[in-house]
Amino acid sequence: GENVEQHPSTLSVQEGDSAVIKCTYSDSASNYFPWYKQELGKRPQLIIDIRSNVGEKKDQRIAVTLNKTAKHFSLHITETQPEDSAVYFCAASKKTGANNLFFGTGTRLTVIP
């Protein structure tokens, strides 16, 4: 099956700085890569996703890049704010008829005011 690795496991940044989280995947057939944010004690929520026919996608302060050749993708958060503090999960899936996501182990981001 798919194996998704995520780094770093923890990340602390000063408010206003940028944060970058990186993931690699093993299955070259994977073609959908979402990112989920999970605040403490809450449910994971989708924040951005990218498909394999796109190299980069941006939504306000959040961007995701994908390198299919190297099988890695990254989440970039600019101008970080305290409310960005959460655990972020990357995931990967391929065309199987259902959205069977394989998740990374998560990155705990702390934004220091």
Partner 1 sequence: NAGVTQTPKFRILKIGQSMTLQCAQDMNHNYMYWYRQDPGMGLKLIYYSVGAGITDKGEVPNGYNVSRSTTEDFPLRLELAAPSQTSVYFCASSHEGEDSPLHFGNGTRLTVT
Q: Burial-class residue 98 by CB neighbours within 10 Å (0-12, 13-18, 19+).
A: exposed
Instruction: Count other Cβ atoms within 10 Å, centred on residue 92.
Output: 26
Shortest gap between Cβ of 73 and partner 1 (angstroms)?
14
Nearest residue (CB) to partner 1, 42 versus 61: 42
Nearest residue (CB) to partner 1, 104 versus 111: 104
Distance of CA 48 to the CA centre of its chain: 8
The verdict on 97 binding partner 1 (CB under 8 A) reads: yes
Kindly report the length of the chain: 113
Among the listed residues 66, 91, 109, 111, the single contact to partner 1 using CB under 8 A: 91
- Considering only residues 11 through 40, tell me which ones interact with partner 1, judged by CB under 8 A: 31-32, 34
